[in-house]
Amino acid sequence: MTALDLAGPVAVVGTGTMGQGIAQVALLAGHLVRLYDTAPGRAREAAGAIGARIDRLVEKNRLTAADGDAARARLLPAEHLTDLADCALVVEAVLEELGAKQELFRALEDIVGEDCLLATNTSSLSVTAVGGALRNPGRLVGLHFFNPAPLLPLVEVVSGYATDVSSATRAYETARAWGKTPVACADTPGFIVNRIARPFYAEAFAVYEAQGAEPATIDAVLRECGGFRMGAFELTDLIGQDVNESVTHSVWRSFFHDVRFTPSLAQRRLVESGRLGRKSGQGWYDYREGAEPAEPHTAEPRPAPAYVVAEGDLGPASELLALIREAGVQVREDEEDHGTRLVLPGGGQLTLADGQTSVEFRDVVYFDLAFDYRKATRIALSTSQDTSAQTLSEAIGLFQALGKDVSVIGDVPGMIVARTVARIVDLAHDAVAKGVATEEDIDTAMRLGVNYPLGPFEWSRRLGRTWACSLLDDLHERDPSGRYAPSLALYRHSYATEKREGAS
């Protein structure tokens, strides 16, 4: 058995934003769709809202008038749960509360046929626990859509501990037949996206809590240097601080308070104050009428240095050498190759973020990792109180000569983009080693689910397979809490690569 036959009715229980979105997806795939909600009249209201969205698709010529009429005719509100008896698939999108979901599926088990596939759209609960209340948990699977479901292509197909392979396959093929991009995932806290995305938020908040930079600067660096669609602060304001923090807490508790998933105290205070983001008018940023937009720190113009001395090829930042030459700054090669850095005319050094701090060295400025140094419009620099004014000025002037805005942050080991990417890569390797998902599915999930510029394994291949482990080792030495300790999976991957390269 593969995808659902188009003649098979699909039911959606729960008619909030997500439930309506899933119903619309199934409807436009050709199914008869039944909507059910425990609140009287809610299903009819939801059907009307979906019908209005279909009308707008027709108005925009994304759907023919005939197809729109046919879709509305297939959408039927259900007055009673028993009206779902003939459905081939029931998707639950109710309150994220384990007892409520279990109660619903127990009731459905007595109503629907033996071959009906049951699916939960939970984003934070255990699929195994939801199915644990059923007589036949093998037919329950997770179908985690992303909001808005009609627009976002990703669906995480989650197999609980007791889910039958045939049920997971049927759900996977159904999602694909609906025009979605499914990825297969084991039942683990946060599944793929919400597990591996935690560092994107956590590291930004950590830099802020360490007073390394303010939210507007961190967000600008993540966008304009890291290539991410949105920064962590603006994204959590959009999601809702309460919602984002709730997912973080859920993953943290589910991993038995693993320090790698520790929630942010700064975000907790934001939630406690009622500043939940856009929906409340204030979050990390102020969205009230008349509020001044927050601006990132941008350094004043400085003169470019006449030359730099290149020691080594700069590793993942090697394309900078060509950009520097194109900008008219002379690049002198040091044949003795003391490392991978640039030496400025005043004797100071410019080094790619590596997990160490500027204060440990004499007159060093660190620069952050960029997704694409040619396309990046902003670069972050990190200094300590011991960095000379001349060295900082020459470093700023060099990147400004390349056409970049420059943000100077505090002496933050691993800076902003580099530490974030390294931790995402680490969690991805750990997930594969523990059977959560394949490398390909993880890369797909992170690109489509949260719009990352690259998947974690694509990052790893681009940066060098030992890069993340080396940076995290340095970070762990400076923060031995365990938060930055490389996973055993990443360590093995890096060590095996070093051995192969050494043997060759």
Q: pLDDT (tens digit, 9 = 90+) per residue, 204-219?
A: 999 999 999 999 999 9
* Section 185-193 average pLDDT: 97
Indicate if the pLDDT at residue 268 is higher than 60: yes
Amino acid at residue number 280:
S
Indicate if the pLDDT at residue 438 is higher than 90: yes
- Contact between 188 and 123 (Cβ < 8 Å): no
Annotated active-site residue in 124, 126, 194, 487: 194
Annotated active-site residue in 31, 121, 144, 493: 144
* Section 299-304 average pLDDT: 98
For the stretch 33-92, pLDDT in tens is 999 999 999 999 999 999 999 999 999 999 999 999 999 999 999 999 999 999 999 999
Give the ranges where 178-264 is alpha helix by DSSP (H).
193-196, 198-209, 215-224, 232-239, 241-254
Q: How high is the pLDDT of residue 495?
A: 86
Give the ranges where 308-416 is alpha helix by DSSP (H).
320-326, 389-401
Q: How high is the pLDDT of residue 499?
A: 59
* Section 99-109 average pLDDT: 97
Q: How high is the pLDDT of residue 1?
A: 47
Indicate if the pLDDT at residue 27 is higher than 60: yes
Q: Is the dihedral of CA 267, 262, 445, 222 positive or negative?
A: positive
Amino acid at residue number 475:
L
Q: How high is the pLDDT of residue 339?
A: 65
d(CA 326, CA 469): 33
Percent of residues, the chain, with pLDDT higher than 90: 93
Q: How high is the pLDDT of residue 500?
A: 61
Q: How high is the pLDDT of residue 2?
A: 65
d(CA 27, CA 21): 10
Terminal CA-CA length for the chain: 49
Axis-axis angle for helices 456-463, 417-433 (nearest 10) = 120
Q: How high is the pLDDT of residue 292?
A: 94
d(CA 13, CA 100): 12
Indicate if the pLDDT at residue 10 is higher than 60: yes
Annotated active-site residue in 31, 92, 121, 156: 156
Q: How high is the pLDDT of residue 252?
A: 96
> What is the torsion angle, in degrees rounded to the nearest 10, for the CA atoms of residue 123, residue 129, residue 133 and residue 137?
80
- Contact between 388 and 382 (Cβ < 8 Å): no
User: In this structure, what token pair is assigned to residue 501?
Assistant: 């390269």
421 phi and psi angles, rounded to 5 deg: -65, -40
Q: How high is the pLDDT of residue 418?
A: 98
Determine how β-strand 10-13 pairs with β-strand 33-36.
Answer: parallel
Strands ordered across the beta sheet of 378-382: 330-333, 307-311, 341-343, 349-352, 364-367, 378-382, 405-409
Indicate if the pLDDT at residue 503 is higher than 90: no
User: In this structure, what token pair is assigned to residue 70?
Assistant: 């046919």
Q: How high is the pLDDT of residue 340?
A: 82
Q: What band does 334 get if pLDDT is binned at 50, 70 and 90? A: confident
Q: Would you call 144 a catalytic residue per the annotation?
A: yes
Annotated active-site residue in 31, 109, 121, 123: 123
Residue 154: other Cβ atoms inside 10 A: 22
Q: Would you call 156 a catalytic residue per the annotation?
A: yes
Identify the CA nearest to 407 among candidates 440, 364, 451, 376: 376
Contacts of 389 by beta carbon, 8 Å cutoff, 6+ apart? none
445 phi and psi angles, rounded to 5 deg: -65, -40
Amino acid at residue number 303:
P
State the average pLDDT for the chain.
95
- DSSP character string of 2-22: -SPPTTS-EEEE--SHHHHHH
Lowest mean pLDDT of 156-160, 171-175, 336-340, 355-359, name the range.
336-340
Indicate if the pLDDT at residue 220 is higher than 60: yes
Contacts of 499 by beta carbon, 8 Å cutoff, 6+ apart? none
Q: How high is the pLDDT of residue 8?
A: 82
Q: Would you call 333 a catalytic residue per the annotation?
A: no
